[in-house]
Amino acid sequence: MDYYIEQLHSGLLVFKINRAEKRNAVNFKVMEGLQEAIERAKAEDIRALVITGEGEQAFCSGGDLSVFHELRTEEEAYGMLSKMGEILYSLAVLPKPTIALINGTAVGGGCEIATACDFRIAKIGAKLGFIQGSLAITTGWGGGTLLFERINAPHALKLLAEAAVYRAEQLDHIGLINQVVDQANYEEAERFLEKELSIHSGVLSAYKQIQIRKWEESRLRERIMQEVRQCAVLWAKDDHHQAVDLFLNKKQ
């Protein structure tokens, strides 16, 4: 199974990517699982949704290039990118608190998933980076658009444009990481949301709706889809395919 969905007694619903051998890279099955978790998290007895990865090495290393590198044209890329863009939009506007429990490396699309969550708890030393630029593309799942919503514009532009990797403890002061912990486990997520978990889920949803209404007014979904289309254009170019070929050859 490429993912697990588990409901804890505390009211947390956990979605875990279970592809440790692939550094928890996203494939189409993981996409479907995340979509299922988001729908299940809407149930009244769920207080919050937690997203994490299996093992201690990676939260999520982004899209599985061994699968997605077969997408060559703009329209082929757009099909995959828009599917995940819609899922991350659904995650962002889920009327429940959401936490990315970053247990290890979160790069590329892994950072986009984390940014779609309301809060990010990261294990000390975990590496994070929007490295898409090094593959001659932009963020393509909506993570760039969402990053500008989460932190101030100069920090967001710097993180995106330089395509560099940081340690978690270097990112808490700009608001991208909300808490750095020794071990990114379920207990830390429950501790972080300790007070919220005692509040009626209807209250939590009502507060989240305030943010959602703001995003609807600013056409967040439309802006995410514009980001997706822009990435699809770059995806189809030779520069991207050559960069991925070099990256995959280095790993062999």
User: Where are the domains positioned within the chain?
Assistant: 3-185
Q: What is the pLDDT of residues 75-105, one digit of tens each?
A: 999 999 999 999 999 999 999 999 999 999 9
pLDDT digits (tens, 9 = 90+) for 115-166: 999 999 999 999 999 999 999 999 999 999 999 999 999 999 999 999 999 9
Distances 125 to 21, 103, 106, 185 between C-alpha atoms, Å: 20, 10, 11, 15
CB count in 10 Å sphere of residue 118: 18
Residues 56-80 have a mean pLDDT of: 95
Of 234, 67, 228, nearest to 135 by C-alpha is 234
Average pLDDT over residues 168-172: 96
What would the two tokens of residue 175 be? 């608001």
| Residue 251 confidence (pLDDT) above 70 | no
What's the confidence (pLDDT) of residue 252?
58
Among the listed residues 78, 168, 70, the one whose alpha carbon sits nearest the alpha carbon of residue 123: 168
Which CATH code for domain 3-185? 3.90.226.10
